[in-house]
């Protein structure tokens, strides 16, 4: 048994079977650039697995190797147990990739594009079902170049689904879309998961990873630096919660530092923020202190650490920088 076969077997469970995708110690270099430096992970059946990282982190290279579009310099990949290089036909049957929609002719109609793509495959999902899934029923007879960016992107997702693949790869599907179009696409992705698909999603939008993904691999400079559910990544971080509040009368910032569990204090135009390692006890102490000083509390809200905080903690910088 090869190492990768042993990994597949050891990661199998009775309910889930072998992982949908297995990536083991992947390496890829372009000239002097080491784009991927020893990446390993597995994707479970039916989950949305996120690759989150800044531009140039190696996300696209990783998914292109999974798709069989690029050869790794080292390491191995299995999709449903098949090797994308030596068993490309088997992998193509099982994987759907959302192409950059600009690859379509401008004058093609939505329905025509779906029929054309479906004609390449023996197994296919009915066009009406696809249109419904991506909420493009009303645009079925519209010409491609009249679609909005969000509609074009939803069409790209529908095209990835025509042959009813098990695994869908979405590389930065919402890049450049406005918040409304992004939310609509998120709905499509969630419906795909509800339909039992396994989804690999690359993104540099932290909120997207946090909202959609069952598990997230944070990638930086060609390596995975953390991998878990968004909730556990945040819970494990040392990031502190913040309590932001406003009062009717000004208060002395230094006095806030003496409240138990408060680690840091800031004042801005909105009011005051305290960082704490224990939200419930700090809230109780803070309110007691405000009452004892006759400071009327106007509002208060708690902000938990986010994946953004986790990213900064791990890399020392924000994802957009
Ligand atoms: P982006 O979101 O910008 O695509 P990414 O995380 O997907 O980023 P990759 O596209 O995989 O990252 O790129 C990883 C590194 O490899 C980057 O430094 C990039 O410039 C480099 N790179 C990617 N493709 C090539 C190529 N064909 N030739 C040379 N260098 C490349």
User: Is the pLDDT assigned to residue 198 strictly greater than 80?
Assistant: yes
- Residue 301 pairs in a beta bridge with 244
Distance 136 CA to ligand 1 centre (A): 32
Q: How many CB atoms lie within 10 A of CB 257?
A: 12
Per-residue pLDDT at 14 exceeds 50: no
| C-beta 61 within 6 A of ligand 1 | yes
Report yes or no: 227 and 41 within 8 Å, Cβ to Cβ.
yes
**Global confidence as pTM:** 0.84
Asked if residue 35 lies in contact with residue 222, where contact means CB atoms within 8 angstroms, the answer is yes
Q: How far is CA 317 from CA 27, 53, 215, 312, in A?
A: 24, 12, 22, 5
pLDDT tens, residue by residue, 106-152: 899 999 999 999 998 888 899 999 999 999 999 999 999 999 999 99
Q: Mean pLDDT over all residues of the chain?
A: 90
| CB distance 56 to ligand 1 below 6 Å | yes
> 111: CA distance to ligand 1 center in Å?
33
Q: Which domains does the chain have, with CATH numbers?
A: 3-231 (3.40.50.300), 240-304 (3.30.70.1560)
């Amino acid at each position: 048994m090869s190492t990768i076969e042993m990994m597949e077997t050891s990661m199998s469970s009775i309910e889930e079977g072998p992982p949908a995708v297995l990536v083991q110690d992947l390496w890829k270099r372009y000239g002097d650039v080491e784009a991927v430096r020893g990446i390993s992970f597995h994707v479970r059946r039916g989950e949305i697995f996120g690759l989150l990282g800044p531009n140039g982190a190696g996300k696209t290279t990783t998914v292109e190797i999974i798709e069989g579009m690029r050869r790794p310099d080292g390491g191995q990949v299995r999709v449903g147990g098949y090797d994308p290089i030596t068993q490309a036909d088997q992998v193509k049957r099982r994987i759907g990739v959302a192409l950059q929609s600009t690859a379509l002719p401008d004058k093609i109609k939505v329905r025509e594009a779906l029929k054309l793509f479906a004609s390449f495959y023996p197994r296919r999902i009915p066009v009406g079902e696809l249109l419904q899934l991506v909420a493009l029923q009303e645009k079925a007879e519209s010409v491609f170049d009249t679609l909005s960016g969000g509609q074009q992107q939803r069409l790209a997702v529908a095209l990835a689904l025509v042959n009813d693949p098990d695994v869908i790869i979405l590389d930065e599907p919402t890049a450049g879309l406005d918040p409304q179009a992004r939310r609509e696409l998120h709905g499509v992705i969630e419906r795909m998961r509800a339909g039992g698909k396994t989804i690999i999603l690359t993104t540099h939008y932290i909120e997207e990873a946090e909202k959609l993904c069952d598990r997230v691999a944070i990638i930086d400079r060609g390596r995975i630096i953390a991998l878990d559910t968004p909730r556990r990544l945040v819970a494990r971080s040392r990031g502190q919660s913040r309590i932001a509040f406003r009062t009717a009368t000004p208060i002395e910032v230094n006095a806030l530092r003496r409240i138990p569990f408060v680690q840091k204090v800031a004042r801005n135009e909105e009011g005051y923020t305290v960082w704490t390692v224990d939200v419930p006890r700090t809230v109780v102490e803070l309110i007691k202190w405000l009452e004892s000083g006759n400071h009327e509390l106007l509002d208060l809200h708690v902000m938990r650490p986010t994946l953004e905080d986790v990213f900064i903690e791990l890399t020392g910088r924000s994802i957009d920088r």
